[in-house]
Amino acid sequence: MAVVLLFFIGIISFEYKVIGLAEPLISLPTEWKPFFDILLWPLIILLVSDLVIKYRKVNDPKKFVKKYWIDIVMLVLIPIFSAFKFLKIGVSLVKKLKTLKMGTKVIHKTRKSLKK
C-alpha cells in the first residue's frame, strides 16, 4: 500500500493537470520526478505477483474476484493513470508536429509566390 500511496502522491504532485487540477496538491522538488516515473514498474510487478499468490491460495475465479476485487481494480487503474500521462506527452507532440507542418506549408507557399 505504501508504494501505491507514493505512486498517487507522484500523480498529484507532477501530473496534476492530467487529472484536472490547476495546481499540485502536494509540492515536491522536480528532482524527485524520475523516481516517481520509475515507481510504476515495481508497483505493477508487486501487484501482479500479489494477485497471483492470492489466486493460487483461493483457486476459484468467482471467489477470487469477489474477495480481491479492490486489488484487481487498483491494478487496472494504475496503468490507466499512467496512460493519461503518456497521452499528454503524445498530444503535445502532435500539436508541435501540426505547427511544424503548417510552418513548412507557409514557407513553401511563400517561396512559390516569390518565384512568380
Q: How many percent of the chain have pLDDT more than 70?
A: 81
**Structure-block grid coordinates of residue 49:** 505477483
Q: Mean per-residue pLDDT for 94-105?
A: 74
**Helices 2-14 + 40-58 axis angle, to 10:** 140
- Whole-number pLDDT of residue 55: 94
Q: What is the mean pLDDT of the chain?
A: 79
* Amino acid in the structure at residue 43: L
Contact 46, 3 (CB under 8 A): yes
* 4-56 residue pLDDT tens: 788 778 877 887 776 677 888 888 888 888 887 787 788 788 889 989 999 99
